[in-house]
Structure 1
Amino acid sequence: MTATSAEQDVWGVLSQVRQLTEPALRKAVHRLPEPTRTVAEYHFGWQDREGNPAVGDWGKGIRGALVVACAQAMGADPEQAVPAAAGVELVHNFSLVHDDLMDRDALRRKRPAVWSLFGDAQAVLTGDALLVVAMEILAEEPTMLQELCDALLSLVAGQSADLAFEQRTDVNLDECLAMAAGKTASLLSSACALGGLAAGATPWRTNALRRFGYHMGLAYQLVDDLLGIWSHSSVSGKPVGADLGRRKKSLPVVAALCADVPEVERLAELYLLEAGPLREAEIREAASLIDRAGGRAWAEQEAQRQRTRALAALEAADPEPEGARTLTALAELITQRHW
């Protein structure tokens, strides 16, 4: 598939922000004591599993890019936003290391996850260390630090709810959306607000950017859930079907379970708490049932609704024209991946 001009431009923005932010990330990680530093450098793709230097993938850097792009859209130079961008990316990677451990996901960015290679204890310590250096970067910016801490508390609440849902059979859509708001939307929302704060934007414009990130984050989670069920590991970078295998209450699943259709009875049977992990054939059956019960269609429609609300919030922030184009392109990239 040939990339459009807009897609090429936004990938260029991501590349530029990664180059701008990576020195700050490397400096922060270099402060860590061994062996935590080596584990963190593996996670970021700067070392291979044997400890040799590597030019790996530490992700697209979307959250850092949102910080910088929002700051620029408010009239600031990109360099003003680098500390906040680095802080957000460190927090994001802290959450990934811990999420993989809690969810027992063995792959991250198409490589063995930290816990699966270095053990649970090192995964906990490395995630903790990344969080500490993230806080350190913003220690001299109390308003920014408070913004990020608020997002972290929401993130913890969302992740806690996600884990608790695995032990419940009565999860409703409102609860599930609130979980996604904490687990995913909170950090994207904070990244956009941090861009506004770095630029010295008014509280009104900063809050509009915060809403932009929030709705974009919900759309992102909906798309991520769809990818987790109906995509391939080559696209998602994680084992497809693993969430279904663990009976996780993702948004398409809960939407299906709440539907008044015949398929719900069999899907509920597959999600019985007393049973062990779903087998491969059962995962395929569950995916089909969710689709036929309307879970897939609902998630696709809700993702589009959240995208529309995100773009309305962006317009309310009154960004500079070039900044508006960049942020719109980033939003499209984030929320319209193919599944």
Structure 2
Amino acid sequence: MTTLTAPEVLTRCRALVRPALREAVGRLHPWVGEMAAYSFGWCEVGGTPADASGGKGVRQALAVLGAESAGAPAQAGVPAAVAVELVHVFSLLHDDVMDADATRRGRPTVWKAYGTGPAVLTGDALFALAVETLADSGAGAVRLLSTALRDLVRGQADDLLFATRPWRGPEQVGTQEYRVMAEGKTGALLGCAAALGALLGGAPPADVAALDRAGRHLGVAFQIVDDVLGIWGDPLVTGKPVHGDLRERKKTFPVLAALAAPTPAAARLTRLLASDADPEEVAALVEKCGGRAAALVEARRHMASAESVEALRPLLDHLLRRDL
């Protein structure tokens, strides 16, 4: 049997899920549906059809792979894929509002294109639609999604609170706190995608739980790689402004790891972060303190934990190496 590459797996799963995803979005109020379609890259402002990037569809693929790991046909994972993708985009819409991000994947964010209120409303609609999508799949499926949502909100809350804490001292953010935050903010939904697909595919509880754990490790690795790209990635590839996270002084893993280094350079980094220093200078010092290298080591460690579940292996190396 021919083994598909990670991009081929993602393409296959997106093609399988997209009709059901479009059908779900089509049930929304027309105006809200337009904003949702814009967020997926299906149209421009005003509704003109477009084919912009709506993301790689990682969560969709995890749900389909989870169903297939249970011996079920790929189609069994489609409701799970639709539900988690709707929740993912809901979280991005609200995240962009909270972070005041003006662009995503090279386009104006929904709140920037349509307004803050409409963007929040669209996110709420997608959340409700996700729950509706699983309504016929049983209480266990809704419970899995609800647990992931609770953890996602907890992770997002921690991420917002990190911004209020100092770079040094008893209240500084540690790398372990970051891991907990990333597991909730990013890992919970990745774990839910794989576990939910397996549940709908008829997998036993132990297998469902193992996929959830592996997906959460994958999420931590995914978030750390995002942090690295946010500092050193090519904006033409990432769709985000260069050094955007440093300009906002976000407490990302490379920065936190660099601050933990017992070197004079780390003390200088603290002073730079507390000033209006040029982000390029800050990025160079983060790398000098070992922040970039430590982040990649940590990402690989969590990826190795995810590799223990065979169903996720087709995507792992691709997700860790993306655009680095």
TM-score w.r.t. the length of structure 2 is 0.94
Contact preservation (8 Å) 1:57, 1:109: yes
Please tell me whether the aligned partners of residues 107 and 237 of structure 1 are also in contact (alpha carbons under 8 angstroms).
Answer: yes
1:337 — aligned with what?
322
C-alpha distance after superposition, 1:190-220 (max 9, x if no partner): 1111121011111111111112211111111
Query: 1:55 deviation in Å?
Result: 2.5
In the other structure, the counterpart of 1:40 is 36
Other-structure match for 1:157: 154
After TM superposition, give the deviation of residue 121 of structure 1 in Å: 0.9
Deviation at 1:269, TM superposition (A): 1.8
Deviation at 1:108, TM superposition (A): 1.1
Q: Contact (CA 8 Å) 2:230, 2:242: kept in 1 or not?
A: yes
Q: Which runs of 5+ in 2 are unaligned?
A: 167-171
Correspondence for 2:122: 126
Letter in 2 for 1:207: A
Partner of 2:52: 56
In 1, are the aligned partners of 2:9 and 2:314 still within 8 Å (CA)?
A: no
- What letter matches 1:302 in structure 2? E
Tell me how far 1:131 sits from its aligned partner: 0.6
In 1, Cα distance between equivalents of 2:30 and 2:203: 40
Identity across the alignment (%):
47
Deviations 1:79-113 (A, max 9, x none): 11111110000000111111111112211121111
Distance 2:211 2:21 in 1: 24
State the match for 1:98 in structure 2.
94
User: What letter corresponds to residue 208 of structure 1 in structure 2?
Assistant: A
**What residue in structure 2 maps to residue 67 of structure 1?**
63
Q: Which amino acid aligns with 2:251?
A: K
State how far apart, in whole Å, the 2-side matches of 1:126 and 1:35 are: 9
RMSD: 1.6
1:224-303 alignment runs, 5 A limit: 224-272=226-274, 278=276, 282-303=278-299
Post-superposition CA distance 1:274-326 (Å, at most 9, x none): x6xx46xx1001111111111111101111111111112x05xxxxxxxx4xx
> For residue 25 of structure 1, what is the aligned residue in structure 2?
21
Give the TM-score normalised by structure 1: 0.90
Structure 1 gap ranges (5+): 316-323
Q: 2-side partners of 1:255 and 1:48: how far apart?
A: 40
